[in-house]
Amino acid sequence: MSQQVIIFDTTLRDGEQALQASLSVKEKIQIAMALERMGVDVMEVGFPVSSPGDFESVQTIARQIKNSRVCGLARCVDNDIDVAAEALRVAEAFRIHVFLATSTLHIESKLKRSFDQVLEMAVRSVKRARNYTDDVEFSCEDAGRTPIDNLCRVVEAAINAGATTINIPDTVGYTHAQPVRRHHHYAVRPRA
């Protein structure tokens, strides 16, 4: 089996958030063009539903980038997905990255739902994003604190719904190396 390393860069979305500063559209385009020249395969350039400015910058970058796939972030909310697709549709190639809290703490305190409802949200959202593109990434927000059985169930459901990339982040920096290794071992097994 051949393997390919795909470079996924989040400088223009997560990086800007970490800086707690706003880059201008012009600055974002300059960064996106530099990432493209460096050969980045996929660049996550923003969260289009978060503000009109973010929508504009995502759309502008999507229009200008030709050799990298442009990605927009969306919660597992219909409007988020639709707005991301609208911003990205001008791209040569694009990905929609949907995310959903999967830890018991976040499901109970933030989403106020059952795990089965979260599974349904994940499936529905991946399928909705697939209506716009064949490249859909699904992230388990707070995967580090998600019980392994639940993590495996949601990952499997997202893949079966059409997710082409799975992200298992330790969103809040809670987990150490050994539990992360264990999570990845169980959740990311080669298929027969």
Number of residues that make up the chain: 192
Q: Over 90: is that where the pLDDT of 33 sits?
A: yes
Has residue 118 got a pLDDT over 60?
yes
The model's confidence at residue 144, banded by pLDDT at 50, 70 and 90, is confident
pTM: 0.89
C-alpha 140/C-alpha 159 separation (Å) is: 12
Rg (CA), the chain: 16
Instruction: Quote the mean pLDDT of the chain.
Output: 89
d(CA 119, CA 54): 29
Distance of alpha carbon 59 from the chain centroid: 17
What percent of the chain has a predicted confidence (pLDDT) above 90? Answer: 67
The residue-averaged pLDDT of 108-132 equals 95
- Tell me which amino acid residue 137 is: E
Q: What is the pLDDT of residue 146?
A: 87
Would you state the pLDDT for residue 82? 99
pLDDT band at 175 (very low <50, low <70, confident <90, very high): low
Judged against a pLDDT cut of 80, whether residue 1 lies above it is answered with no
Distances (CA, A) of 84 to 39, 56, 104, 177: 23, 11, 27, 33
pLDDT of residue 188: 58
